Amino acid sequence: MKREHSNLHPQRFTNPFSLAAGGYSLDSTSTGASTMTSNNGKAKAWEEAKGHQADGGMDELLAALGYKVRSSDMVEVAQKLEQLEEVMGHAQEDGLSHLASDSVHYNPSDLSTWLESMLSELNPNLHFDPSADSLLAPAESSTVTSIDFSDHKYHQQPKLLEKSTSSGYDLKVIPGKAACSQPQIDSRESKRLKTDLYQTSSSSSSPSTTLGSFMGSAESTRPVVLVDSQENGVRLVHLLMACAEAVQEDNFNQAEALVKQIGFLAVSQAGAMRKVATYFAEALARRIYKIFPQNSVDHSLSDILQIHFYETCPYLKFAHFTANQAILEAFEGKKRVHVIDFSMNQGMQWPALMQALALRPGGPPAFRLTGIGPPAHDNTDQLQEVGWKLAQLAETIHVEFEYRGFVANSLADLDASMLELRPPEVESVAVNSVFELHKLLAIPGAMKKVLSVVKQMKPEIVTVVEQEANHNGPVFLDRFTESLHYYSTLFDSLEGSVSTQDKVMSEVYLAKQICNVVACEGHGRVERHETLTQWRTRLVSAGFAPVHLGSNAFKQASMLLALFAGGDGYRVEENNGCLMLGWHTRPLITTSAWRVRNHHPADGAA
Amino acid sequence: MRDVKGGLDPFNSTTGYTRSSFTSIGSFPNAKLLVHCVNAIESNDDTLSQQILWVLNNIAPPDGDSNQRLTCAFLRALIARAAKTGTCKLLPSMESAHCNLAIDTHKFSIIELASFVDLTPWHRFGYTAANAAILEAVEGYLVIHIVDLSLTHCMQIPTLIDAIANRFEVPPLIKLTVAGAIEDVPPLLDLSYEELGSKLVNFARSRNVIMEFRVIPSSYADGFSSFIEQLRVQHLVYAESGEALVINCHMMLHCIPEETLSGIHSTNSNAYSYESSSISSFRSMFLKSLRSLDPTLVVLVDEDADLTSNNLVCRLRSAFNYLWIPYDTVDTFLPRGSRQRQWYEADISWKIENVIAHEGMQRVERLEPKCRWIQRVRNANFRGISFAEDAISEVKTMLDEHAAGWGLKKEDDDIVLTWKGHNVVFASAWLPA
């Protein structure tokens, strides 16, 4: 067992908060006294600490497993999770009884049932037996992937339109909440359907035991609930880190043992902490048991989850407002404009821009939109449907509108010649990408190709929104730690949202990312978020120059946040002309704007 | 010069306020979008509210053309409203978000205010018409008691003193009583009414007119009932003493609560008492108590619009349909970027915010259209009198000093100031019936 812990952090031992509040055995022993002053001493002290706690029987589990953790990371995560828990503790006065009553539920509300069924229908492997063996032998269920989600979507379509027209408001043409209420019913139906199909392949007929299956029966988890939850909070983080480290070392027996313990502990927690831990545990379990989610089949589900994410919290709205701001300003005075959208989805970004163009001084330009999206698994032409709705809006607000939807498995399949571009002096182009570019990092050479195609489009502006995190480092444990930080903060920010349904859906939306970051590798790992600094380096070296998002964009984003975010934790900050939205001190997403360096005459020859 | 058509005509003024006409305002997209925004805010649709606010922010720069500045003022008012209601709990963070919603209303010095009201016929129209009517009515009286209920801080009075000094060989004694309203409604004055009074008394003395000045602290929130009460208690009004009593109401009465704000039955602010005609408002009660003073003349000048609806959308439409006028006119008398223009537009913004963002007693900009006022005054047992020919010609002469869009319209006994054919301010004169 290796014991080199070069990353031990003095803070771990000197932070009185974690000592007192955590009450965790690692801290409460003599390590506190041997406060580290030199790097040399740390590792030793750590070993001592482990010895102590093992001797004292304070945490035989961890000692027995002999796990090693990077405590510098753990401290922060633990504190974060403690904060979360505190927040939740206040919110739920009846914390314990609440926990006891639904302690085996995967998600914190009864909505979890149908949500899970949705997920598991698309990824049937999720429904596994409590025993690991069945997890490793999911073959019989792997064929059951044909849930007709698109069918439901198709049926709900007329209703969406009905709602949007009856509301009498133009911007509503694109479904927001309208699209969200519908699938609930549909999915309940599909759940029933699915259960029938499923009974032969899965012994677990209860859809709520995804996590429970790691832990055994509901009864066996209940005693854990009574353990002090703060202490468990710290232990939970330790366990997550230990498990990730075991995974990193390919020590899967140990990892498996740990992930089960995580399940035990997670249910003793409240709110965001439990959810984050649970989702990370699930992702670790997937990695351990090599059950990977199938990304290709669930775009329609992703869309619906994204709509809820859009409604629940300000991140996507912020992305759209800030990107649109840059686009609107770049299009000022242009007669024909063309947006090429790498992230079309439900087209939610465009009604506001079209409305603003329609009313801009001097009259609206001709507006052309090229929406790019992945193929729908059922061959419905969702991109066309979205375009049709946008065309209706355009007609209402008297904007000349031209639309094309492009189905592409990857942006890397795109060529500028496909887009029927007009000369830049005729038509100004904006390229827009929200949470898309990082996916290209999974395919060697794809980013380079796409950036060169973008340059061929001769865009007036390129708007890029990306997660502000590095989840693409070469070392698994680093990615794990980073993402644990990142999603803890995100889940924390979601806690304030009003609608439970929206919140749960948003959590599932994020959970899919967590799963991808933690469980997947190679081409399958597409959530390769990188930081603004990394993007800047990449884009600058690819021949792009930054465009400052104006103070106007900052003020507006701040104002809209202040008015509607529903909590004062959100912060907009400006970083070298880019805008970041974060929760408290942690930036979470970044909008940046770019132009091609030698395209702009002001830049001279390049 | 009158009835110059064109310019902004946001709503077809003949369409009234029905739901169906409402959808036809597409010809004026900014107003349409404002209405959508109101609907979104009122229905707590945060996503839609945010989207429309974003659009409005981008199409209505505060330094744009008059239409854009008008939209911007409404937008600010909507933001102020959203900041107070709905899901927003975040006024402090609004400030940290650099969205200072506070409107910087200027405190005028007397000189500033005097030259300010001279810029446009908005106030001068009423001054001129009222003064002409007063001069005619007080002919032969040795003592003239003028009760000035005006939002413009006696700016009308120096001209009146001047006219009296010129007209009468032996000038009468002028007793001027003003309502020192405790509420702050623009334009704001940077000195106290006592100081203002002594300046007016000095001015009168310079014209060989003796004047007594008196301030009675009062509030329009109670329909000036304490004001009227003080007039009686202090025996300031002698109906039988041969003293002329002139009540000059200049754009102040619209601050008195009317039926949609039932102050009398204010236990439940939603219980608007239209159902019973027997329940009267502070507004009607005030007019009745005026009548009981048996005045020699009542002049009522006010803005001709309806901003009383409890339906925010109706109010917004109505306000937009009226308040485009001050924005449209400002280009004719104040250059862009001038400080006076900032003051002027800040005061309109204040008005818009008051109409849109406030409710209940805070909402004092409760304009009623001319026809409704006339009905009220008649119900209080007054009869209207026509303005004399020379009053009208004086108003016309005054209008000649201003831009071509201004006009004068005679409607029955009353006269109406118009801008490009749209009613702006009406003036009416009344005697006890």
Q: What pLDDT score was predicted for residue A75?
A: 55
**Of B88-92, B180-184, B315-319, which gets the smallest average pLDDT?**
B88-92
Sequence-distant (≥ 6) Cβ neighbours of residue A220 within 8 angstroms: none
Q: What pLDDT score was predicted for residue A186?
A: 39
B379 pLDDT exceeds 80? yes
Q: List the Cα angle A246/A488/A100 in 5-degree steps.
A: 85
A155 pLDDT exceeds 70? no
Q: How many H-runs (helices) and E-runs (strands) does chain B carry?
A: 15, 11
Q: Which residues pair with A461 in a beta bridge?
A: A430
Q: How far apart are CA B40 and CA B78, in angstroms?
A: 11
DSSP-assigned letters across all residues of B129-143: HHHHHHHHHTTT-SE
Q: What pLDDT score was predicted for residue B279?
A: 54
Q: Which of B41, B46, B81 to mutate to test the interface with A (most CBs of A within 10 A)?
A: B46
Please judge whether A558 and B33 are an interchain contact, meaning their C-beta atoms are less than 8 angstroms apart: no
A363 pLDDT exceeds 70? yes
Please name the residue ranges forming H helices in B192-311: 193-206, 225-233, 282-292
Place of tokens 């701040």: A558
Please judge whether A563 and B83 are an interchain contact, meaning their C-beta atoms are less than 8 angstroms apart: yes
A154 pLDDT exceeds 70? no
Higher pLDDT, A260 or A66: A260
Every domain of chain B and the residues it spans = 25-102+310-353, 107-259+279-304+367-432
Q: Which residues pair with B302 in a beta bridge?
A: B426
DSSP-assigned letters across all residues of A279-343: HHHHHHHHHHHT----GGG-HHHHHHHHHHHHHHSHHHHHHHHHHHHHHHHHTTT-SEEEEEETT
Q: Chains A, B: CB contacts under 8 A, how many?
A: 107
Q: What pLDDT score was predicted for residue B405?
A: 94
Q: What average pLDDT does the segment A499-527 reach?
A: 92
A39 pLDDT exceeds 70? no
Q: What pLDDT score was predicted for residue A265?
A: 85
A476 pLDDT exceeds 50? yes
The arrangement of secondary structure in B107-259+279-304+367-432, i.e. its CATH architecture, is 3-Layer(aba) Sandwich (3.40)
Q: How far apart are CA A325 and CA A463, in angstroms?
A: 10
A82 pLDDT exceeds 80? no
Please judge whether A171 and B49 are an interchain contact, meaning their C-beta atoms are less than 8 angstroms apart: no
Q: What pLDDT score was predicted for residue A11?
A: 34
Domain over A299-468+529-553+592-596 is classified CATH 3.40.50.150: yes
User: A414-439 in b/e burial notation, b at 16+ Cβ within 10 A?
Assistant: beeeebebeeeeebbbbbbbbbbbbb
Q: What average pLDDT does the segment A405-415 reach?
A: 93
* Per-residue model confidence as pLDDT tens digits over B50-68: 899 999 999 988 888 898 9
Q: What pLDDT score was predicted for residue B28?
A: 62
B196 touches B189 (CB < 8 A): yes
Torsion on CA atoms A473, A477, A482, A486, rounded to nearest 10: 120
User: B117-153 in b/e burial notation, b at 16+ Cβ within 10 A?
Assistant: bebbbbbbbbbbbbbbbbbbbbeebebbbbbbbbbbb
Both tokens assigned to A322: 């800030």
Q: What pLDDT score was predicted for residue A304?
A: 86
Place of tokens 């949705």: A118
Q: What average pLDDT does the segment A174-194 reach?
A: 36
Neighbours of B180 (CB within 10 A): 17
Place of tokens 């309806």: B306
Q: What average pLDDT does the segment A261-273 reach?
A: 84
Q: What pLDDT score was predicted for residue A142?
A: 28
* pLDDT-based confidence at residue B202 (cuts at 50, 70, 90): very high
A12 touches A71 (CB < 8 A): yes
B326 pLDDT exceeds 50? yes
Q: How far apart are CA A443 and CA A582, in angstroms?
A: 29
**Of A190-204, B329-343, B417-431, which gets the smallest average pLDDT?**
A190-204
A254 pLDDT exceeds 60? yes
* Secondary structure (3-state) at B71: helix
A83 pLDDT exceeds 50? yes
Q: Which of B55, B74, B99 to mutate to test the interface with A (most CBs of A within 10 A)?
A: B55
Pairing of strands B414-419, A401-407: unpaired
Q: What pLDDT score was predicted for residue A405?
A: 94
B366 pLDDT exceeds 80? yes
Higher pLDDT, B410 or B236: B410
Higher pLDDT, A305 or A31: A305
Q: How far apart are CA B334 and CA B351, in angstroms?
A: 19
**Of A9-23, A471-485, B291-305, which gets the smallest average pLDDT?**
A9-23
Rounded to the nearest integer, the mean pLDDT of chain A is: 71
Cα-to-chain-centroid distance, residue B391 = 22
* Per-residue model confidence as pLDDT tens digits over B386-401: 999 999 999 999 999 9
* Secondary structure (3-state) at A83: helix
Please judge whether A359 and B33 are an interchain contact, meaning their C-beta atoms are less than 8 angstroms apart: yes
A560 pLDDT exceeds 70? yes
Q: What average pLDDT does the segment A100-107 reach?
A: 35
**Of A506-520, B16-30, B313-327, which gets the smallest average pLDDT?**
B16-30
Q: Which chain A residues have any C-beta within 8 angstroms of a chain B C-beta? A: 168-172, 176-177, 310-311, 317, 321, 324-325, 328, 351-352, 355-356, 358-361, 397, 498, 554-556, 558-566, 568, 572
Pairing of strands B414-419, B422-432: antiparallel
Both tokens assigned to B249: 């109401």
Peptide bond into B187 cis (omega under 30): yes
pTM exceeds cut of 0.80: no
Among B23, B51, B79, the residue with its CB nearest the CB of A171 is B51
Every domain of chain A and the residues it spans = 229-289, 299-468+529-553+592-596
Q: Which of A329, A506, A560, A579 to mutate to test the interface with B (most CBs of B within 10 A)?
A: A560
